[in-house]
Structure 1
Amino acid sequence: MKHITFYLDFVSPYAWLAFERLPEVLEGLSHSVEYRPVLLGALLQQHGNPGPAGIVPKRAWTYRHAVWLGHSIGVPLAMPARHPFNPLPLLRQALACSEDGRINRFVTGTVFRHVWQGGHEALDAQRLTELAAALEPQRKPGDDDGARAKALLRSNTEAAAARGVFGVPAFEVDGKVFWGYDSLPMLRACLEGDCWFERDWDAAASVAQGLPG
């Protein structure tokens, strides 16, 4: 059985699409998946990457592309009323349901649907209260001040960066990191034992840098 770590931030539409598609993509394979929330903004900042929202034409394209992808694969996706937004309240609500940085698929899907279905404000106070109520049965005791959830988010993000994760969605298996929704077929090929990964995984990335440092 192969083990997959799925790094995600609820602010990413592509992470939502990948979450919905993953069971179908991995159908028939012996695997397990753990879901680990990370702070995308911190990963982007580490590499000096403004993200799609930091480049005006790219922002518009990203939203069109994500919504079209949802339409094309039959996954409901409506842009929230404001985007990007600060995902910290959502990440911490999710991690209030964890003792070790992992969250289950129910928690992950509940928070994703809060953001990506209906076109509402992701951080609307009443909706956050309703989300907390929906997650309450999953909440772990002993973190009334939220300190544990904050520490878990920091730990997850730092560990992800140390593993080479630079964005979300990202999937790690056997020390290899796959980035983006469009990496799902590549992930499956790796899990199926495609010989390319032994032959060309390292070689493909070893090309010399052609620009001055």
Structure 2
Amino acid sequence: MKHITFYLDFISPYAYLAFEKLPEALKGLSYHVDYRPVLFAGLLKHHGQLGPAEIAPKRDWTYRQVLWLAHAHGIPLEMPASHPFHPLALLRLAVACGENGLANRYVCETIFRHVWRGGAEAADAGRLQELQQALVPQRDPGSDAVKAELKGNTEQAIADGLFGVPTCAVDGKLFWGFDALAMLRAYLEGDGWFGPGWDAAAQVPAGIKRGG
């Protein structure tokens, strides 16, 4: 049985799509998944990047594409009333419902659908309160311990080479994005490309680097 760590931030529509599709994409395979919330903004800051929603033309394309992907794959999705939003309260709630920085699938599903179904404000205080009451977290989402676990998740993700969400990590390999689910399945099935193909791709030299 393969052990997969699914890194997520509820702010990402691609993470939502990958989360919803994962069981179907890996149907028939032997695996276990740990769901680990991270702060996507922390990854962006570390790598000196803007998020897709911070670049106006890319923002428009991103929303169009995720709505199309949801339509094409039969996944219910409505954009929240505003996006991006501050996801910290949702991330901390997920961590507070679990242990050691992890959240179970039911908790993640509930929070993802809070954001990506219904078209309401994801960070609305009243809705957040109702969500917390429904999930009944084991710990206080605002506690120092929960905050430290989320921070630790993000720092460990950066140390492991993550740059975005969703990312599935297995056997030291990182599979980034909704469209990487097919690639992940191929790896788990023992596709012979992994090994020479995987390693060779990382050996291509950079021909030019932009200055600061």
TM-score, normalised via structure 1 length: 0.96
Q: In the alignment, does 2:153 pair up with 1:156? A: yes
Q: Which residue identity is paired with 2:72? A: S
Identify the residue that residue 74 of structure 2 maps to in structure 1.
74
Q: Distance in 2 between matches of 1:76 and 1:173?
A: 28
For 1:117 and 1:191, how far apart are their aligned partners in 2? 31
SS in 1 for 2:33: strand
Does residue 1:197 correspond to 2:197, yes or no? no
Q: Which runs of 5+ in 1 are unaligned?
A: none
Paired amino acid for 2:143? G
Rounded to whole Å, the distance in 2 between the matches of 1:96 and 1:130 is 15
1:127-206 counterparts in 2 under 5 A? Answer: 127-136=127-136, 139-141=137-139, 143=140, 145-206=142-203
1:212 and 1:110 mapped to 2: Cα distance?
43
Change (3 A) 1:130 1:144: closer
SS at match of 2:161: coil
- Residue 199 of structure 1 and its aligned partner are, at CA, apart by 1.7
**CA–CA distance in structure 2, aligned partners of residues 32 and 41 of structure 1:** 27
| Equivalent residue number for residue 83 of structure 1 | 83
Q: RMSD over aligned Cα, in angstroms? A: 1.1
Note the C-alpha offset of 1:144: 7.1
Residues 1-213 of structure 1 aligned to structure 2 (within 5 Å): 1-136=1-136, 139-141=137-139, 143=140, 145-212=142-209
Structure 2 residue runs without a partner (length 5+): none
- The runs of 4+ residues in structure 1 deviating greater than 6 Å are none
Deviation at 1:185, TM superposition (A): 0.3
Matched to 1:173, the amino acid is V
